[in-house]
Amino acid sequence: MNLAEGVQIVSFGILAAAVLISALGVVLLKNVVYSAFLLGGSFISMAGLYFLLNADFVAAAQVLVYVGAINVLILFAIMLVNKQEEYAVVKGAGVRQVATALVCLGLFALLGTMVVSTPWAISSVTPAGDGSIVTIGIHFFTDFLLPFELVSVLLLIALVGAIVLARREFVPENLSPSGEDEALMLPERPREMVSSRDDK
């Protein structure tokens, strides 16, 4: 994506401000639903920054993985839990907030020092641009084929585990725990009586 220099500067300023405001909203708001939505806004703004860098594949992966999967999963978890709990003041919250502010300021100072001290000279290497997807695909299926397949196997294992946890009603009744092991087992969902075809 080739834009004029002025358009790039204005777009960068707007996207950077959106990232910072969304990130501050995620941290400072007490409503977790609003924080989750602002987290999605921060991810989308980051994808816009990737588009400005001609990293179209990384931007698309940012939207698909972080916004379309992780952020939606966070929202589903918040909505499904639906736990109504009154806000209670935590003892020593002021000390924790001060410690958190000091850590954040230290990280900000460290990152600022790194940005100032790093030589940002323009490299002579030509960026991949529109051909970045082809280049990444070639590397995925040649140099990084084994890690790519291992990640897919791990995702398959996680999917099978999620299905097993969701279908707990097929656990035999004679394996029900007793005593101390009962706290380690997940409660089963209530079973529903299924009418057989003969009843119809």
The whole-number pLDDT of residue 82 equals 61
pLDDT digits (tens, 9 = 90+) for 26-76: 988 888 889 999 999 999 999 999 988 888 888 888 998 888 888 888 888
The rounded distance, in Å, linking the Cα atoms of 42 and 78 is 18
Structure tokens that stand for 126 in this block: 């030509």
pLDDT tens digits along 163-183: 777 665 555 555 555 554 554
Whether residue 71 contacts residue 43, with contact meaning beta carbons closer than 8 Å, is answered with yes
pLDDT band of residue 87 (cuts 50, 70, 90) is low
Answer whether residue 13 shows pLDDT above 80: yes
Long-range contacts, 34-40 (Cβ 8 Å, 24+): 36/71, 36/74, 36/75, 36/78, 37/75, 39/71, 39/74, 40/67, 40/71
The full set of domain ranges for the chain reads 1-82, 141-171
Q: List strand residue ranges (DSSP E) for the chain, in order.
A: none
Q: Give the pLDDT of residue 172.
A: 52
Cα torsion 82, 86, 89, 93 to 10°: value is 10
pLDDT tens, position by position, 104-153:
899 999 999 998 998 877 665 555 556 677 888 888 888 888 888 888 89
Tell me, what's the pLDDT at 180? 46
| The pLDDT of residue 158 is above 70 | yes
Q: How confident is the model at residue 40, as a pLDDT? A: 92
Range among 10-19, 82-91, 126-135 with highest mean pLDDT value? 10-19
CATH of domain 1-82: 1.20.120.1200
Residue 47 to residue 56: CA distance in whole angstroms? 9
**What pLDDT is attached to residue 126?**
56
pLDDT at 190: 57
Q: At what angle do helices 5-28 and 32-52 cross, to 10 degrees?
A: 160
Is pLDDT above 80 for 21? yes
Closest CA to 8 of 49, 56, 55, 59: 49
